[in-house]
Amino acid sequence: MSIGELLAAAVPMVRTLDLAFGEITPERAVAHLPDQAAYHNHVGGPHAGAMFALAESVSGAVVLAAFGDQLTRAVPLAASAGIRYRKLALGQVTATAVLGRPAAEVVAELDAGARPEFPVHVEIAREDGAVTGEMTVVWTLRPDG
pTM of this structure: 0.95
Tens-digit pLDDT profile for residues 79-132 = 999 999 999 999 999 999 999 999 999 999 999 999 999 999 999 999 999 999
Strand order in the sheet with 93-99: 20-24, 28-33, 93-99, 117-126, 131-143, 74-85
> Which band of pLDDT confidence, cut at 50, 70 and 90, is reported for residue 145?
low
Residues 54-94: pLDDT tens digits?
999 999 999 999 999 999 999 999 999 999 999 999 999 99
Strand segments, DSSP code E, in 34-130 are 74-85, 93-99, 117-126
Which tens digit of pLDDT belongs to each residue from 29-45? 999 999 999 999 999 99
Q: What pLDDT shows up at residue 143?
A: 95
